[in-house]
Structure 1
C-alpha cells in the first residue's frame, strides 16, 4: 500500500535536450524520475577545417524521432532568425515568442531595456530593427511560460503527441541542466548548504565543454564571467555563467592522441569497459601506497588548448604541459589523463575564486552532464575545490530541467522553484579528501604560474 506521498503521479512531461552530437528526450514524472529515454544522432558537416555546420531541419526531425520513440515506450529562411531553443518551440507551437534565456545570454538583449538599436547598426544589421524587431523577436517570455495554445496539429502529428499539450518557453541546454540540479532536495546528506539559500550552490554542467552557473538575489558583476542576467535560468534570480571552452573534448583529445591509445582501446574492449573506466582502474593499480592524485607531482597541464572563456576571457591562450618524459606506455597515458582531469578541476577552482572575489558565496558544487559519470573527474573536483560535490539522482539533469519547464507551463506547479524542489533530487554526494589539501594547493600555485609564464613568453615574442 502506498502512502499519500508515494501515489503514482498522474502527469508526465517530455524534456528534450539538443546536444552537439545527438538529440535526447526523456519522459519525466512529477517526482522528477526518468521513466523513459530516447536519443537520436544529428548530422554534423565540416565543409572546411574548423568550420562546423548543422541543419535545423535535421535537428527538428531528430526531435520528432526521439519524442515518438518515447511515446511508444519549413522553416522560411528569411522570415525569422532564431536561436535553436526558440526555433524548436516555434516549430512545436507556431508561436514566434522568444525565450528570455536565449535572448539575454546569446543575443545582447536586456531584460530591463530590451533591444539595443545601436548594436545592430554598428554591425550592419539595422534591418533587424525594422517592423518592431519582427525577425528577431518582439515578444519575450521568461523560461517555463506557456506558449500559445500548445502543440499545433502538425507538430503533434510529427511528434506523436496529442494536440494542445502545453509547451514551455525554452532554456539553453546548460541552463536547463542548472535548473535541473541547483534546486535539488539535499535533506539528510549532511551538507552545509541544506540550511543555506540556493545562492550558495554552483551548478557545473560538464560535457564537451563546461558551464558554471551561480545565482544571486542582486546583480553581481564578475570579470571574465558572463552575466549578470536577470531571470535567465531561475526566475527572480540573477545568473552568472562561467565556462571552460573544452573539457570532455580536451580529455578525449589528450587520450586519443597518445601513442598508447590503441593498446588502451584493445584492453578496455577486452574487459567490456569504456577507456575511462579502464584508465581509472589502471591508476588505482599504479598508485602504490599514495593517493591517486599524487601521481602528477611533476606533471602539470594548463588546459586552454582552445583559449580561455572564464575567468580570463582570453581566446589567444594555448594549452601547456610540463613534465614530459620519453615514456609512451599505458602508465604514462594514465598519468597524463589524470593531470588533464586535474587541470580542468583547477580551472573550476579559478572560476569559483573569481566569483567569490566579486561577492558570490559558494559552498557546494552540483555536477551534471557526461563527465559527472566519471568518478575520477568528480573526486578531483571535490579535492581540488575543497567542496562537496552533489550528483543528481537522475544523471540526465538537462532533461529533468527541460521537463520542469513543461511541468510549469502545464500549470501543475505554481512556480519554477516549487517544481525544482519536487522534481530534482540529490543522489550521491562526494566529499573532498581534506588530508590532500596541501598537495592540491601547491599544484594550484603551479597552475596559476603556468599562465603567467605563457603571457611572459607571448610578451617576449611580440616585443621588439
Structure 2
C-alpha cells in the first residue's frame, strides 16, 4: 500500500498529514509560524518559515503514522491563495510574503478595474469589484512602491509555487491559482496580456512561472536537497495542488454540476460546479479548469460569518458557553421573537459587492437575551448564503445540495439553520479536513492509483451526515428572508461613510 504526504499551509500554521489509498489519515502534525501585522491593513510572513514548518511537520506526521518513509509515494499541498512572493534568481525571498489578508493594494485594485479589460469578466461580469487581495494588484503595488524589488525579482508567484520550487527546483504555477486569482483564462487566450500591458506591468508576464500544471498533475520528483531535508526518496512525486478552499472542494467530494461547497470559518465561501460559463454581477467566476478538467467553478462569498459569533463572544467578555448557547438557541422558534440580523459586519462581498455596507441588529426588545442574538446571527448568516445562491440561480446556476466543510460542521444548529434557510439538503463528509483530504486525492491520482480526480474522490472521500430542510421551518424562513432582503436597501443610506440618499 502506498502512502501520501499532504500539507495544509494556512494563515497561522502548516499541518502535514499522512494518508493511505483509502483516504484514512494515519498521522497529523501542525507547526505554527508568525504573521507580522502593520498599519495600513498589512500582513506578512517569512517564506522560510513555511519551509521549516513543512520539514518539521512532515517528519512528525510520518513518525506518528508509523510508516516507512520509503513508502511515501507522492506529496501534494493546499495553501493560502493570494499570498504573493518575490524571489531572486536563486529562489530566495527578496521581501516578506504579502499574505492573502493584506489589502494594502486597494488603489492598485481600483486601477485594475479601471482598465475595463476583458479579463475582468470573472469579476462580476466585468463590473467588479477587483479585490486588493489578488495577484495583479499586489504585484502592481510592489512595482509602484518597491521598484527595486520588482526589478530584481526573477519570480513573482504564490505560497504554493514557492513550495514547489523548494521541493523540485521547478518554477511552476498551479492552474488552480492562476485561473482563480491571476486572471488566467483557459477559454479566453491564457495570460491576461492586455490587462498587464494597460497597467504598464508587462514585465510581470516574464516574472510569473511559465509552466502551468493542473491540480493532480505531476510537477517533478523531489530534488536532492529537498529529499535530504525531508528524509524521503528522490523518487517521491510532487503533485500539483492549489488554493486551500478549492482543494477543499475535492476533499468534500464536490465535483458534479449542481453540487455546492460551503467552506466555513471566520467567513463563508460558496463554490459551485457547472458545465458552462456563467458571468454576472453579484458572483465571481466562472473559472474553467480551475479544479476539474472541462468544468467551471462559480464563486460567492460572505466576509463575516463565524467572526460575527466570535464578536458576540467578545461582547460577552468571554463568558459565552457555546454548548449552553446552542441548546438555548435551538429551543427558540425561527425568527428569534422578531430579531433580525444583517450579516455585513465587514461589508458585503457578494451579491452586493459593497464594502461600505454594515451589520445591523433589528427588532431588539428588553425581553431578548444573548441566545436570541446568537441564533439571530446564525439566521442572518444563513440568509446571506441564500442571497448568494439566489444570485447564482439568477445567473444560471442552481445548486441541488450544499456540502459543508470547516467550523460550521461542528454545530448541529448551524447546519440545520443553513438547510432550512436555503431549503436545500446539507451534507457533511466524515472528515472535516477537506483541504488535506483533497490534497491526498490529488497525490494518489498523480501517483497513478486513480485514472481521474473523480475516481480518487469515489475511493477516498467518505460520506458522513445529511441534514434535510424541514418543511415547516423553511416556510417560516421564506417570509423572514423577504424582510432580510429589505434591510440592505433600507440601511444603505444611513450606514458607512460617503453614503448618499440614493
| Preserved contact between residue 44 and residue 52 of structure 1 (Cα < 8 Å) | yes
For the pair 1:319 / 2:364, whether they are aligned, the reply is no
For the pair 1:283 / 2:329, whether they are aligned, the reply is yes
Partner of residue 45, structure 1: 36
- Residue 448 of structure 1: CA displacement? 0.5
- Residue 35 of structure 1: CA displacement? 2.0
Alpha-carbon deviations, 1:65-123, whole Å to 9, x = none? 22111111162432211122222222211111111111111111121312122222333
For the pair 1:261 / 2:317, whether they are aligned, the reply is yes
For the pair 1:294 / 2:325, whether they are aligned, the reply is no
1:32-431 to 2 correspondence within 5 Å?
A: 32-48=23-39, 50-73=41-64, 75-77=92-94, 78-112=153-187, 113-129=189-205, 133=206, 135-148=207-220, 150-183=221-254, 198-256=256-314, 258=315, 260-264=316-320, 275-284=321-330, 287=331, 292-294=332-334, 296-325=336-365, 332-431=369-468
For the pair 1:14 / 2:5, whether they are aligned, the reply is yes
- Residue 208 of structure 1: CA displacement? 2.2
| Preserved contact between residue 182 and residue 202 of structure 1 (Cα < 8 Å) | no
Alpha-carbon deviations, 1:245-304, whole Å to 9, x = none? 222222212321x2x33333xxxxxxxxxx4333213434xx3xxxx3436131111111
Which stretch of structure 1 is more off in the superposition, 43-52 or 77-86?
43-52
Distance 1:159-1:250 versus aligned 2 partners, 3 A rule: farther
Structure 2 Cα separation of the partners of residues 54 and 142 of structure 1 = 26
| Preserved contact between residue 357 and residue 495 of structure 2 (Cα < 8 Å) | no
| Preserved contact between residue 235 and residue 416 of structure 1 (Cα < 8 Å) | no
Which structure has the higher relative contact order (CA within 8 Å, separation 6+)? 1
| Preserved contact between residue 373 and residue 395 of structure 1 (Cα < 8 Å) | no
Structure 1 Cα separation of the partners of residues 307 and 230 of structure 2 = 32
Structure 1 Cα separation of the partners of residues 254 and 501 of structure 2 = 50
| Preserved contact between residue 403 and residue 428 of structure 2 (Cα < 8 Å) | yes
Q: 2:470 aligns with which of 433, 436, 441?
A: 433
- State the TM-score, normalized to the length of structure 1: 0.84
More strand by share: 2
Corresponding residue SS for 2:27: strand
| C-alpha RMSD over aligned residues | 2.2
- Residue 13 of structure 1: CA displacement? 1.4
- State the TM-score, normalized to the length of structure 2: 0.78
Structure 1 Cα separation of the partners of residues 192 and 34 of structure 2 = 35
Return 5+ residue gaps in structure 2 as ranges.
Answer: 65-90, 95-152
